[in-house]
Structure 1
Amino acid sequence: MPSLNVLPVQPSARQPRGAVKLNETLIDGWLSWEVESNSFYAADTFRITFLKNMLPAERNARWFSELTTAFVEIFAGFPPNADNYRTTDLTSMVYGRVDEVEFDLVRGRIDLIGRDLTSEFIDAKTTEKWPNKTASQIATDLAVRRGLTPMVTPTTTKVGTYYDIDNVTMTDQRSEWDILNYLAHLEEFAVYVRGKTLYFGPKPDPKATPYVLQWQPPEGDRGYPVGNFMDLRFTRGLTVSRGIQVVVRSFLSKGKKSFTATYPSKGNSTQAGKAKPFGGTQIYTYTIPGLTQEQALQRAQSIYAELIAHEMKLTASLPGDNILGIDTMVQVIGTDTAWDQTYYPDSVTRRMSFEEGYMMNLHAKNHAPDSTVAP
């Protein structure tokens, strides 16, 4: 198998560097760290590995064994001077609370494992209803309650109206994060945490400039392939490829009305010379109470979009940078296959260690170009 000549996405003579703050104090002694940035609605996670013998005296194993509450901030970047830099020369990758402390006595390693401040809402349960407040007012109240700065787009509809339409009683205890996601869905918003800020507003548009993964097969005198990644793998789900249809059944207790919405209205038909394997369209049926006919159709369209997004997937390993974000479209070119298209990142995992340097893993997905439903 020919070796791959790996080219960086953005060539730079600068060396990558990282830093870790524990309870707002810069701390040395870390051996490696990993940050997983997830799609909206989910918490980002982190893991830091410290070498016990490299830790400062005041942060020894006993200190970590007695730790009750801790907050971590991880930084990465390419400072102008790799031998003399500050955290202001780097980018904050994550800020969050430590959930677990692991101590490997034999190897002398201490690991801190945790989540970003999304965890503050995930771990908080409530039965509050707020019927006379808007979604934006609730989001602001919850952000302030958890010590976060709210960056919230104002809304006008009181949530009591949604409860009546959606047949929601809100009598059971649920997490504040579930409530924020419910309200974001109704407003067609996104909700997520970055650093110490809660964002509740319109879904961000994918960045205009895509992150390109480029493949160049061997040609001419060059007997080896060229790419800006170390590893790139694709999958295509054939169950989805043969065509799917979503059926949403619903009912409203008021008026005793029932509704059925189907999307697309007709399954993907078989074109001449393009027989589909394994039979015809696969049907997914859902029963969701409290929806009107229009809402049922919108839900069917939303579920369909989620299902076909699992058809085409990629995983990639590549040199670390601070360019690729969870909201950055990924463009694959050069494979001369159906996998040459755009993808939406599911997760971006960054790792930095003294052994491997700065690395990234990408998981992304999108539907195949020929799976798009005609309007």
Structure 2
Amino acid sequence: MAISSGVRRHRAWVEAAGRRWLVIRGDAYLEATRESSSFSVSIPMRRAERVFADAESLDAKIVVASGFGDRTIITGELDDAQFDYEARTIHLTGRCKSAKLHEMKTSEKWTNKKPDEIIKDLAQKAGLDADVTSAKVRAGRKWADDYVKLSDNVSFAAVIHKMSELMGARWWVDADGKLHVKDDASGTYTISYRENGSGPINSDALRIRISKNFVAAKDVEVKVKSWNQKKKKVIEAEKKISGKGGKVAYEYHIPGLEQDLADQYAKAKAAEHVAHEIQLQADCIGDPDCAPGMKLQLIGTAFAQSLDIDSVSHAFGMRGHLMTISAKSAKDGRE
């Protein structure tokens, strides 16, 4: 549940080079949107100048104080250090552990492996622990071969995203640097909103903004067609999700799919097209327990339902800790 009361002294630190450095101000952008989470902090230069000037590469962790003790919100490595000799500060930027997945490339062919097995293999090569939902379908050698031909030397992240699509799952890296590829949420965060007649609004968010996409609210029809060279036939799959206000249709041509993969791909793409029907942004008091990959349960408003949290942006330092949550979902009940 969002933090809505209580006043306490706030602090944040960056842990690097075997020490904790007090953060004057900073930001952390936590993502479950195919991008690396990142951070940016400023620390006093005193005692830190020589350490960061001499460093070649450094792992880093951002820690914030909360009502339940010190909590890590992102683990990764530093990309850059800027030394401001007028302000006597050092500005550090970095990315989470998923940065390696975007940097490392592959042209590997996997022989009849399931998507989750491919993801675990790539995570291991990038030095990441992985928690991956078991897949019911196999990526198959034929599909893997054709995919590599279409996009040779692709990043690990691109392959993981494609496998996640086939599984109908989302992927993100948590605060401790562990990769998750899941078709369900890792927890629920609750925000409430209640009007009191002519009195003040009661909410544990500072501000809530919601948009409705009328195109995503329509009936959605997805068709997938694939030429299977081995079977000398066209594989076809279709998925429809009911809505209101008309119909939109999408068609995809993917080489080398078997029927089960085509069915799963159509299902995943249809869900993707309706997922941004309702989009929410909520500004709240900073809470390290809120993270991408969770569900956001909205109580109150005409849009009260559960949404998927895509990103959480934290702003912290000596002046306090605020966060902005971005979440989206199709309207409840659409199938």
- The verdict on a shared fold, with TM-score over 0.5 as the criterion, is yes
**Equivalent residue runs for 1:40-189 within 5 Å:** 41-50=34-43, 54-57=44-47, 59-60=48-49, 64=52, 67-78=55-66, 89-104=69-84, 107-129=87-109, 131=111, 142-149=122-129, 162-165=140-143, 167-168=145-146, 170=148, 172-185=152-165
Corresponding residue of 1:364 = 327
Shift of 1:354: 1.8
Corresponding residue of 2:222 = 246
Shift of 1:18: 2.1
Shift of 1:255: 3.0
Corresponding residue of 2:207 = 231
CA separation of 1:49/1:340 partners in 2, compared to 1, >3 Å: closer, same or farther? same
Corresponding residue of 1:85 = none
Corresponding residue of 2:174 = 194
Could you state the TM-score of these two structures normalised by the residue count of structure 1?
A: 0.75
Give identity over the alignment, percent: 23
Is the 8 Å Cα contact of residues 9 and 212 (structure 1) preserved in structure 2? no
| Inter-partner Cα distance in structure 1 for 2:203 and 2:306 | 17
Is the 8 Å Cα contact of residues 122 and 177 (structure 1) preserved in structure 2? yes
1:262 is the counterpart of 2:204 = no
1:352 is the counterpart of 2:330 = no
SS across alignment from 1:37 = strand
The structure with more radius of gyration: 1
Which segment is superposed worse, 10-19 or 308-317? 10-19
What are the Cα deviations for residues 66-107 of structure 1, in whole angstroms up to 9, with x where unaligned?
A: 654222111123267xxxxxxxx4111111112233445655
Letter in 1 for 2:66: F
| Inter-partner Cα distance in structure 2 for 1:190 and 1:225 | 34
Is the 8 Å Cα contact of residues 110 and 141 (structure 2) preserved in structure 1? no
Corresponding residue of 2:14 = 20
Is the 8 Å Cα contact of residues 174 and 180 (structure 2) preserved in structure 1? no
Could you state the TM-score of these two structures normalised by the residue count of structure 2?
A: 0.83
What are the Cα deviations for residues 129-182 of structure 1, in whole angstroms up to 9, with x where unaligned?
A: 35487766665555454444456788899x8x7122455363621223333444
SS across alignment from 1:368 = coil
Structure 2 unaligned segments of length 5 or more: list them: none
CA separation of 1:134/1:283 partners in 2, compared to 1, >3 Å: closer, same or farther? closer
CA separation of 1:196/1:205 partners in 2, compared to 1, >3 Å: closer, same or farther? closer
SS across alignment from 1:323 = coil
| Inter-partner Cα distance in structure 2 for 1:369 and 1:141 | 36
Q: CA RMSD in A?
A: 3.4
CA separation of 1:21/1:197 partners in 2, compared to 1, >3 Å: closer, same or farther? closer
CA separation of 1:309/1:319 partners in 2, compared to 1, >3 Å: closer, same or farther? same
CA separation of 1:219/1:189 partners in 2, compared to 1, >3 Å: closer, same or farther? closer
CA separation of 1:191/1:327 partners in 2, compared to 1, >3 Å: closer, same or farther? closer
Is the 8 Å Cα contact of residues 76 and 92 (structure 1) preserved in structure 2? yes
Letter in 1 for 2:248: Q
- Aligned mate of 1:39, from 32, 36, 44: 32
SS across alignment from 1:369 = coil
Greater strand share, structure number: 2
| Inter-partner Cα distance in structure 1 for 2:112 and 2:213 | 46
| Inter-partner Cα distance in structure 2 for 1:343 and 1:234 | 12
Letter in 1 for 2:316: M
| Inter-partner Cα distance in structure 2 for 1:304 and 1:34 | 34
CA separation of 1:323/1:147 partners in 2, compared to 1, >3 Å: closer, same or farther? closer
| Inter-partner Cα distance in structure 2 for 1:97 and 1:235 | 35
| Larger RCO (alpha carbons 8 Å, 6+ apart) | 2
- Aligned mate of 2:275, from 286, 299, 309: 309
| Inter-partner Cα distance in structure 1 for 2:169 and 2:209 | 32
Structure 1 unaligned segments of length 5 or more: list them: 1-6, 81-88, 271-275
Which segment is superposed worse, 129-138 or 66-75? 129-138
Letter in 2 for 1:301: K
